[in-house]
Amino acid sequence: MSIVVEALGELLNFPETILSSPRTNDHGSHLHRGGAAAAMPADIIDAAKEYTFYVDVPGLSKSDIQVTVEEENTLVIKSNGKRKREDREEEGCKYIRLERRPPPQKLTRKFRLPENCNVSAVTAKCENGVLTVVVEKLPPPPKPKTVQVTIS
């Protein structure tokens, strides 16, 4: 996929498929650094009974994050992005340097889920700057039985 197509997809907020990986260069670095993917990096694990998403959300509390499933197969993670700075009560205190930039005002990541996901059984928790979202898998469909019929 070309970089232009990726950029358009990110601008138009198309969902990523969880099975595709971001484009990297020969050194393993991501080719694009901007956008929600860079601001909210995610690791996704495909386990036997569930998919687990680990999303970095430093400085955000669980009340700042919204996790939903849209259109029956799109996992959406939104944040208002308002990381709070530490307020100092002492008189005469001021910031000398501000290097830890807050994320953009609003962030959204969308992931297209496979068909075997149970979207009714999605759980999420936010601890220590990491959002963990677990999407259970549906059991595999039963294999059709073959019944031997005797011919009389």
Share the mean pLDDT of the chain: 77
* Sequence-ordered list of residues with C-beta below 8 angstroms from that of 36, at least 6 positions apart, any chain: 10, 107, 108, 109
Domain that residue 119 falls in: 3-137
Q: Is residue 34 part of a domain?
A: yes
Q: What is the CATH number of the domain that holds 11?
A: 2.60.40.790
Q: For residue range 58-98, what is the model confidence (pLDDT) as tens digits?
A: 878 888 899 999 998 999 999 876 655 565 556 677 777 76
Q: How does pLDDT run across 14-23, given as a tens digit for each residue?
A: 566 665 544 4
Q: Is residue 129 part of a domain?
A: yes
Residue among 39, 3, 8 nearest 22 (CA): 3
pLDDT at residue 26, as a whole number: 39
* Token representation of residue 71: 């259109």
- 75 in a domain, yes or no? yes
Residue 100 has pLDDT above 70, yes or no: no
Coil, strand or helix at 58: coil
The pTM is what?
A: 0.66
Domain assignment present for residue 142? The answer is no
Task: Please state, in angstroms and as integers, the Cα–Cα distance from residue 102 to each residue in 13, 76, 79, 97, 128, following that order.
Answer: 21, 21, 12, 14, 16
Domains in the chain: how many in total? 1
Q: How far apart are CA 35 and CA 9, in angstroms?
A: 11
Over the Cα atoms of the chain, what is R_g? 21
Residue 145 included in any domain: no
Range with lowest mean pLDDT among 9-18, 26-35, 130-139: 26-35
Report yes or no on 143 lying in a domain. no
